[in-house]
């Protein structure tokens, strides 16, 4: 049975839990409805960088690369720092963005749409780039969110090994929980470099995924209005 999402509620004096509490609650919700396959390692950030450096040294040596060359000697460490601090930083709940919401005092009840959000991720099957654009919309209930926070939520869930379907759903699940509204739409169109750089080597194909909730799913006029915003393509 599909689990219904429990909204993350604050109060008038504290409209949203602090970032660490919020990140843990989001992590708990997603563990049930759209989990990223993960296990707890217990390693600190520094330990992860050290261990990945060692492993990439082995990989490059097995490939026959000369790590005594000044162009290559620091490559394993560069890759390790990039993995931990940048392209897979979304695996660390402490990096969940600080979310700013305000009370919907203006009683705004129409669609809010943010288009052309960059979603740069990594395919978990081949560790190749996923380069996409997201369109995210919601119809407010009691809260509206700072617009840049939607971009940051997309970025957070992009910064981990992903499949596009899960990424789309995680963004939607997070917004439903944070905004306390069932009316959310997420659309993502992306190029997958595991298709471009290997295998079929098709540089033209695009993959689109969509997660529609509430009125975005059940009301044809809302669905059509949202999808009319979703025609942009990665360049």
Question: Catalytic residues, which ones?
Answer: 123-126, 164, 192, 194
Tokens standing for 158? 């992009």
Nearest to 158 by CA among 129, 194, 125, 197: 129
Contacts of 217 (CB under 8 A, 6+ apart): 223
Q: Angle of helix 147-158 relative to helix 164-179, nearest 10 degrees?
A: 140
Q: Please give the sequence-ordered ranges of beta strands (E in DSSP) within the chain, or none if there are none.
A: 101-103, 112-123, 129-138, 143-145, 161-162, 184-192, 207-212
3-state secondary structure of 216: helix
Q: How far is CA 20 from the centre of its chain?
A: 17
Q: CA quadruple 139, 140, 144, 149: dihedral positive or negative?
A: negative
Q: Tokens 């059940």 — which residue?
A: 218
Judge residue 186's burial from the number of C-beta atoms within 10 Å of its C-beta, 0-12 exposed, 13-18 middle, 19 or more buried: buried
């Amino acid at each position: 049975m599909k689990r219904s999402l429990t909204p993350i509620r604050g109060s008038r004096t504290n409209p949203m839990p602090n970032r660490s509490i919020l990140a843990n609650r989001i992590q708990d919700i997603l563990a049930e409805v759209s989990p990223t396959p993960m296990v707890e390692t217990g390693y600190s950030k520094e330990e992860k960088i050290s261990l990945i450096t060692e492993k990439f040294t082995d990989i490059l040596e097995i490939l026959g690369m000369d790590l005594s060359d000044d162009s290559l000697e620091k490559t394993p460490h560069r890759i390790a720092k990039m993995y931990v601090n940048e392209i897979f930083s979304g695996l660390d709940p402490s990096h969940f963005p600080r979310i700013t919401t305000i009370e919907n005092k203006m009683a705004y009840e129409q669609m809010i749409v943010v288009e052309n959000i960059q979603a740069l991720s990594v395919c978990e099957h081949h560790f190749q780039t996923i380069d996409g654009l997201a369109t995210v919309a919601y119809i407010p209930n009691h809260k509206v969110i700072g617009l840049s926070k939607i971009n940051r939520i997309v970025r957070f869930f992009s910064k981990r090994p992903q499949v596009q379907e899960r990424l789309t759903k995680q963004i939607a699940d997070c917004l439903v929980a944070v905004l306390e509204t069932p009316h959310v739409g997420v659309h993502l169109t992306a190029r997958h470099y595991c298709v471009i750089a290997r295998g079929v080597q098709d540089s033209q194909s695009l993959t689109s995924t969509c997660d529609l909730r509430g009125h975005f799913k059940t009301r044809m006029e809302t669905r059509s209005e949202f999808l009319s915003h979703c025609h942009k393509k990665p360049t």
